[in-house]
Amino acid sequence: MIPFLQKLKHIQRKNNSLLCIGLDTDVMKVPEFLYKYEDPQYEFNRLIIDATKDLVCAYKLNIAFYESVGEHSWYTIHHTLARIPEEIVTIGDGKRGDIGSSAEKQAHSLCYDWEFAGTTVNPYMGKDAVEPFMKRKDQCAFVLAITSNKGAKDFQYLKAKGKPLYEHVVLQAKKWNTKKNVGLVVGATKPEDLKRVRKIVPTMPILIPGIGAQKGNLEATVRYGCDKNGELAIINVGRGVIYAGSGDEFADKARASALKYREQINNYRQKYFG
């Protein structure tokens, strides 16, 4: 059982990449020729994975895109994960978090059935809602701290004891990180806050969505999201890669887009971390 941080650092160094591809596959948007297959959603994922697996450190599956398809989604996720090389980090983006007994069942699905290496967890209900996701040292619970959506301001920036609420979340997650298997989610659209978070948690992994379609600042994301060695940032790009092309050559277009993002990220890593 390889500890999560060790696995993450290994693949980031081997593939020279901080790029995570979001396999948020909308079955209504896959190329028409894939509908001849029994599971076009999986076939789309398979071709994307095969085209990009040497360019990434992680793949992130937003569970809602699969659950909404129906009962076959359980198999689609299993088959997709089986296609991803073992050394690459997989993240189940379900944003779970409920009372203890319910959270246990949620964690069983994501951590023991599908066996994602990482999960996203909503901390609103406190430690007992997160704890089931951080039992294993080889799995990481990514706690939502600052999200990249417009509604983030409704709660995440409310002041409590002189600090924004998100900062209290970050400090709690840092306390929970006794097994070095807790991370944070911080959106790329908030670079100054990302800088603040990294200062508080210099050695924790940060999953950073919001690059591409959400127009997050890539340079600032690399500069402020990485640790002192230019690592431990997991920079997610979804639509900007998987929908880079729409025809028969969509996987080749996805590879070209992923390569571009990896090169840009590494140029900024070189600039700021040498």
| Domains parsed from the chain with CATH numbers | 4-273 (3.20.20.70)
- Which positions are annotated as active-site residues? 95
Cβ–Cβ under 8 Å, residues 74 and 56: no
pLDDT at 251: 98
Number of helices (H), then strands (E), belonging to the chain: the values are: 11, 10
Its pTM stands at 0.96
For residue 51, give every residue at least 6 positions away whose Cβ sits within 8 Å of its Cβ, in sequence order, or none. Answer: 251, 252, 254, 255, 258
pLDDT at 100: 78
Q: Rounding to the nearest 10 degrees, give the CA dihedral for residues 257, 46, 91, 106.
A: 150
Three-state SS at 210: coil
pLDDT at 207: 98
For residue 206, give every residue at least 6 positions away whose Cβ sits within 8 Å of its Cβ, in sequence order, or none. Answer: 183, 184, 185, 186, 194, 197, 198, 225, 232, 233, 234
Cβ–Cβ under 8 Å, residues 207 and 234: yes
CA 68 to the chain's CA centroid? 20
How far is residue 119's CA from residue 111's CA, in Å, rounded to a whole number? 8
DSSP E strands in the chain: the ranges are 19-22, 58-62, 89-96, 118-121, 140-146, 159-160, 163-164, 182-186, 206-208, 233-237
How far is residue 256's CA from residue 103's CA, in Å, rounded to a whole number? 39
How far is residue 188's CA from residue 148's CA, in Å, rounded to a whole number? 7
Eight-state DSSP code of residue 86: T
Per-residue pLDDT of the chain (274 residues; tens, 9 = 90+): 899 999 999 999 999 999 999 999 999 999 999 999 999 999 999 999 999 999 999 999 999 999 998 888 999 999 999 999 999 999 999 999 888 789 999 999 999 999 999 999 999 999 999 999 999 999 999 999 999 888 989 999 999 999 999 999 999 999 999 999 999 999 999 899 999 999 999 999 999 998 976 778 999 999 999 999 999 999 999 999 999 998 899 999 999 999 999 999 999 999 999 8
Cβ–Cβ under 8 Å, residues 110 and 148: no
How far is residue 245's CA from residue 225's CA, in Å, rounded to a whole number? 29
For residue 104, give every residue at least 6 positions away whose Cβ sits within 8 Å of its Cβ, in sequence order, or none. Answer: 132
Amino acid letter for position 15: N
How far is residue 45's CA from residue 113's CA, in Å, rounded to a whole number? 20
